[in-house]
Structure 1
């Protein structure tokens, strides 16, 4: 995709006038590989923004998502880093997300081949959303704008993809990364990329979580060329969020007998727990979880009692459920 350096410089310096100073187009690309679905969203309470996307070709993690804690962008079909950066610059200058998208499309000579979504979290906590799809996109394209999110897709097996993803996001519970993942999963129930879905990315930035002392990346999952890309994204995102991010109250789940057995079983296989693997949570299990926390996680995630009910971090449970037990032991072979 084309480098629009002079056009970007004009936008980044906050010039409001239109410009046609874009460089010439690059050599031909392979249009057969184009096709992507994504959701872009921000959360005013968590002070986070992010993108979840799944497609066929490897490398979409470097093509589709751009952002930081107060803005997220998905640039698709013929993606453009300069369009993404220009849209971010316009929102920094005070434009709404839609005004930023509209401006970028007005100065981009290849706008007909773009699909661009922007969601902006403003300092006062309000969120604006923007989206455009060029006329030369594939017939099976769609877009849905919500109050805090945008879903867009192209070259899909059904244009119902966007409605399914939007519904999945709105119904989902938990932190923003968990809700973005849920949106991708609900979309997969109605269709997929016409080429198949082999690669994906979920990336969320935040300014609120305790982990921001170290990094503003709240969640980061990337999968390339896998026949089980969506499942792999689930595993990788929970692995990252459980290991690096401080816990969210919204991600706490009841420590049911089934969950207790799952956690105790994983801790037993990894060598932290030596008792009976059943659904009864006891002091030995809590100590094993504590030992695992100290050996493995950036932020400690013990069980907690909320309104008389014992709960545990959901991403941590998913992490333990899917992990290779040998990988949970420091220095293990």
Structure 2
């Protein structure tokens, strides 16, 4: 297993600052004032997928917080550590539960007091184990919640209630794992946020089951840096990726009701695929326009489908169309 010593020197002489943050050693370039993150880590045994969703203040958290693959996901926070993440993954590969792996890493990492670490492991038999530890020197207003298939953790938040809200949001959400991770972040935003503000985020999900895995195991990948509307932008980017690259999930199908039909026809009209009446009905002309859009833009075709006598459409696709720049979806458009 890779040594934990590499990369740990950055916090070799951690001290408490006036904001009760740990200060980096002399000569180090880490700025403790920007630390603070909230995240959810989860796996889905049916979808055979695992992922992480996180939102924070500083740019770059997409390279600091989430680690994983289709059978395991890890979030390393406060003073993040790639060595800790890789060690947890290695221990679960060796047969440890996620909690045993996290506990082990905390015993061998000399800077464990300054870590916040969560892991979720999907086993070959479909069972899921979860693990979480928060070091004693983490930022105030920290919290953690473990569920059967997920872990929520946060530090330096406006309220520790944020973890419970995120957990409830995840449990109540419907749809594929990426959609439920996004719902969790949104639920947390209703009760609190990072004390520094939330300007950057990432949602990354890996899968071994979706038809897209012949080409990539990344089911969803959304990254936002330094935006005043980071959560909204993360929503747009994730739906853009999932609609464009991933094969559709039955759980993401939504009824093609009048409001949805009008939204889709409006977008198709702006792009130039649909020239009929923009209303809440759906007809052959609208279906052909959607098909033309599919052929022009999507990796996997996503027509409407009839389920139990009701016509439905892929939810991420609807969101993608709703938020997209029409000119960006026109073939040869400028």
Q: Does residue 1:25 correspond to 2:9, yes or no?
A: yes
Q: Where does residue 91 of structure 1 map in the other structure?
A: 92
Q: How many residues align?
A: 317
Deviation at 1:28, TM superposition (A): 4.7
Deviation at 1:304, TM superposition (A): 0.2
Is this contact kept in 2: 1:22–1:108, CA < 8 A?
A: no
Q: Where does residue 188 of structure 2 map in the other structure?
A: 187
Cα distance in 1 between the residues matched to 2:3 and 2:265: 58
Cα distance in 1 between the residues matched to 2:159 and 2:54: 16
SS in 1 for 2:145: strand
SS in 2 for 1:295: helix
Cα distance in 2 between the residues matched to 1:112 and 1:325: 49
Cα distance in 1 between the residues matched to 2:3 and 2:117: 19
Q: Where does residue 60 of structure 2 map in the other structure?
A: 59
**Aligned pairs (5 A) from 1:196-211:** 196-211=197-212
Normalised by the length of structure 2, the TM-score is 0.94
Cα distance in 1 between the residues matched to 2:250 and 2:115: 38
Q: Where does residue 103 of structure 2 map in the other structure?
A: 102
Is this contact kept in 1: 2:2–2:86, CA < 8 A?
A: no
Cα distance in 2 between the residues matched to 1:23 and 1:47: 32
Alpha-carbon displacement from aligned partner over 1:73-124 (angstroms, at most 9, x marks no partner): 0000000000000000000000000000000000000000000000000000
Q: Does residue 1:280 correspond to 2:281, yes or no?
A: yes
Deviating beyond 2 angstroms after TM superposition, the runs of 4 or more aligned structure 1 residues are: 8-11, 21-24
Deviation at 1:24, TM superposition (A): 6.2
**Aligned pairs (5 A) from 1:257-268:** 257-268=258-269
Computed over aligned residues only, the root mean square deviation of the Cα atoms, in angstroms, reads 1.0
Cα distance in 2 between the residues matched to 1:23 and 1:260: 52
Which sections of structure 1, spanning at least 5 residues, go unmatched? Answer: 1-7, 12-20
Is this contact kept in 1: 2:271–2:330, CA < 8 A?
A: yes
